[in-house]
Amino acid sequence: MDACSPVLVVAALLLLLGASAPTASAARAFFVFGDSLVDNGNNNYLMTTARAEAPPYGIDFPTHMPTGRFSNGLNIPDIISEYLGAEPALPYLSPYMRGENLLVGANFASAGVGILNDTGVQFVNIIRMAQQLQNFQDYQRRLAAYIGEEAARERVSQALVLITLGGNDFYLVPFSARSQQFEIHDYIPFIISSTRKSSCGCTSWAPVA
Ligand SMILES: *[C@@H]1O[C@H](CO)[C@@H](O)[C@H](O)[C@H]1NC(C)=O
């Protein structure tokens, strides 16, 4: 009898922990902006060649199916969401981006984009940063319609934001007319100064470099 007690205690603790595990809406909201390193399916909804909807994408994902993530498995935003104790924020273009799901946050990222507007031209139809920020405004209106202005402002101001951007400005360099105009030592400062421009409209975020 006594020998069982520790087991029971552990089981009870697990139950307690389970009961107090954060729900999607209790965790802070999470917003993701950027390129294919963090896109989790937006490009599937676009007429673009930059998509990840076929194997081997997704082979190590829990469902073993392609999801639109440019990864064999979970990507960085998924892992951050796990730490937040929340479901992954849905792609902004998902038809399920409504109701309760709005509370989790949103992923605005689009594979192929860069800091420069002319990075990724070969993919024709991708969501460049200015548009991602526009979509963020639209998201906030939808959230406010769901939980009220005040609560929406509160939720957004407490949120975690991830911006993963810039790799394509170098990786896709041979395709960008703009990059052809620069020597590499001039191109890098140009990209850095453009970073400020491409995140205009958002006043309080600081790039981590
Ligand atoms: C990209 O274009 C938008 C307008 O469409 C502009 O607001 C933004 O500053 C441009 N970004 C860069 C880095 O030039």
Kindly state if the Cβ of 194 falls inside 6 Å of ligand 1. Answer: yes
Asked if 32 and 77 touch (Cβ cutoff 8 Å), the reply is yes
DSSP H or E segment with residue 154: helix 149-157
Instruction: Kindly report the protein residue whose alpha carbon is nearest to atom 11 of ligand 1.
Output: 198
According to DSSP, the β-strands at 105-107 and 160-164 are unpaired
Over residues 53-112, the pLDDT tens digits come to 999 999 999 999 999 999 999 999 999 999 999 999 999 999 999 999 999 999 999 999
Over residues 150-176, the pLDDT tens digits come to 999 999 999 999 999 999 998 877 667
pLDDT reported for residue 118 = 87
Ligand 1 probe mutation, 117, 119, 190, most atoms within 8 A of CB: 117
Please report, for residues 27, 99, 142, the alpha-carbon distance to residue 86 in angstroms, rounded to integers and kept in the order given.
Answer: 6, 16, 20
Residue 68: how many CA atoms within 13 Å on its side-chain side?
Answer: 22
Residue 207 has pLDDT above 60, yes or no: no
* CA 128 to ligand 1 centroid distance, Å: 9
- For residue 131, give the ligand 1 atom closest to its CA: 5
Q: Is 8 exposed, middle or buried (0-12, 13-18, 19+ CB in 10 A)?
A: exposed
* CA 202 to ligand 1 centroid distance, Å: 13
Query: CB under 8 Å to 77, separation ≥6 — which residues?
Result: 30, 32, 38, 40, 88, 89, 107, 162
Kindly state if the Cβ of 196 falls inside 6 Å of ligand 1. Answer: no
Q: Where are the domains of the chain?
A: 27-198
Provide the mean pLDDT of the chain: 84
* CA 170 to ligand 1 centroid distance, Å: 18
Kindly state if the Cβ of 117 falls inside 6 Å of ligand 1. Answer: yes
As beta bridge partners, residue 107 has: 32, 91
C-alpha angle 198-161-60 in degrees, rounded to nearest 5: 105
Residue 151: how many CA atoms within 13 Å on its side-chain side?
Answer: 11
Q: Could you count the other beta carbons within 10 Å of the beta carbon of residue 175?
A: 15
pTM recorded for the entire structure: 0.82
Over residues 121-154, the pLDDT tens digits come to 888 899 999 999 999 999 999 999 999 999 999 9
